[in-house]
Amino acid sequence: MSYSQLGLKLKEKFEGKNFLQISDYTQEDLTNLLNYASELKQMQEDNVPHELLKGKTLAMIFEKSSTRTRVSFETGMFQLGGHGMFLSKEDIHLDEAISDTAKVLSRYVDGIMIRTFGHEIVEELAENASIPIINGLTDDSHPCQVLADLLTIYEHKGKFDNLKLAYVGDGNNVSQSLIMGCAIMGIDCHVAVPKNNEIKSTVIEKAQLRAKESGAKVIETNDPLEAVKDADIIYTDVWTSMGWQGDKESRLKEFEGYQVNEALVKHAKDDYIFMHCLPAIRGEEVAEEVIDGENSVVFDQAENRLHVQKAVLATLM
């Protein structure tokens, strides 16, 4: 099995490199990666073998729990003819210097995917490893999720320009990567988050710069209704991310009025799509009738994790 023209083009640019954050890529890079993911998705659907990573191993380090990331990476490696090795915090010495872990794993495996807390941990791993490092979520970002989200948007809307995305909820890792991905691809982003839960101002500023290049807008508000008005896409995520420590009751109070429910989504376009990276808490950030309603594409997003990550793996490794 050999690489397609597009696969070769991507490999030429990215082989051996890391996948750490969405802002490292141009609109052309992301377009190529998404198109390559679609090629691999079609091959999988048509049962065409594509064992591009035969004999290769991906170490998958998880300091936080996961359903989608774990299963999609492991399955993706298998479909590519390689092997995904699950390493939870109970399995390996995560109290060892991260630089030592990087150097040791580089002697055994061909790539590392890591889900961890601080972004600096992923960066330190990357600095010390001689193999590609893939960010499987940090407190600051979730680039694999956003690649899957962009593919899902394209599959449902057939374009990236002239679209309005409303993000309603917590200014967290997913939202930070999402607004960057949208800004690069040219999707207008309206972000409604409660006071004290805003997206980092440095991220907003960087996204606004990228949006300028693509002709899009990144607009912050505290009013969910303003964000959702005439939106093509409504996106939310949990109000309490993994690793957050604090008082749940006071947090629920802060997010009052930010639930994506029928009263809110009726202000969007009739053919809006509802998105959520999952896992979701029905009755908190999203009402059951919205996430389980006909405009919801959450399971397409979850499926597309597999296809986009295969494109990333085949390209880097």
Concerning whether 277 is annotated as a catalytic residue, the answer is yes
How far apart (Å, rounded) are the C-alpha atoms in residues 314 and 317?
6
Residue 69 interacting with ligand CP (CB under 6 A): yes
Indicate which of ligand CP, ligand NVA, none lies near residue 67 (CB less than 5 to 8 Å, by partner kind).
ligand CP
Among 142, 190, 276, 307, the active-site one is 142
Residue 278 interacting with ligand CP (CB under 6 A): yes
User: Based on CB atoms, which residue is closest to ligand NVA, 174 or 180?
Assistant: 174
Residue 177 interacting with ligand CP (CB under 6 A): no
Among 140, 232, 237, 301, the active-site one is 237
Q: Select from 50, 68, 210, 307 the one that contacts ligand CP (CB under 6 A).
A: 68
Indicate which of ligand CP, ligand NVA, none lies near residue 52 (CB less than 5 to 8 Å, by partner kind).
none
Concerning whether 68 is annotated as a catalytic residue, the answer is no
Residue 242 interacting with ligand NVA (CB under 6 A): yes
User: Based on CB atoms, which residue is closest to ligand NVA, 101 or 116?
Assistant: 116
How far apart (Å, rounded) are the C-alpha atoms in residues 306 and 148?
8
75-83, 198-206, 234-242, 296-304 -> range binding ligand NVA (CB under 6 A): 234-242
Among 70, 139, 277, 309, the active-site one is 277
User: Based on CB atoms, which residue is closest to ligand NVA, 219 or 242?
Assistant: 242
Q: Smallest distance from the beta carbon of 61 to ligand CP, in angstroms?
A: 13
Q: Select from 141, 145, 152, 304 the one that contacts ligand CP (CB under 6 A).
A: 145
Indicate which of ligand NVA, ligand CP, none lies near residue 241 (CB less than 5 to 8 Å, by partner kind).
ligand NVA
How far apart (Å, rounded) are the C-alpha atoms in residues 47 and 13?
28
The angle formed by the CA atoms of residues 306, 149 and 304, to the nearest 5 degrees, is: 20
Residue 174 interacting with ligand NVA (CB under 6 A): yes
Concerning whether 182 is annotated as a catalytic residue, the answer is no
62-70, 91-99, 191-199, 289-297 -> range binding ligand CP (CB under 6 A): 62-70
DSSP string for the chain: ----HHHHHHHHHHTT--B--GGGS-HHHHHHHHHHHHHHHHHHHTT----TTTT-EEEEEESS--SHHHHHHHHHHHHTTSEEEEEETTTS-TTS-HHHHHHHHHHH-SEEEEE-S-HHHHHHHHHH-SS-EEE---SS--HHHHHHHHHHHHHHHS-STT-EEEEES---HHHHHHHHHHHHHT-EEEEE--TT-PPPHHHHHHHHHHHHHHT--EEEES-HHHHHTT-SEEEE--SS-TT--S-HHHHHHHTTT--B-HHHHTTS-TT-EEEE-S---BTTTB-HHHHTSTTB-HHHHHHHHHHHHHHHHHHH-
Concerning whether 144 is annotated as a catalytic residue, the answer is no
How many positions of this chain bind ligand CP (CB under 6 A)? 9
Residue 277 interacting with ligand CP (CB under 6 A): yes
Concerning whether 156 is annotated as a catalytic residue, the answer is no
Phi then psi for residue 62, to 5 deg, are -120, 110
Residues that bind ligand CP (CB under 6 A): 66-69, 137, 145, 277-279
Point out the residues that are catalytic. 115, 142, 145, 237, 277, 305
Residues that bind ligand NVA (CB under 6 A): 137, 172-174, 237-238, 241-242, 277
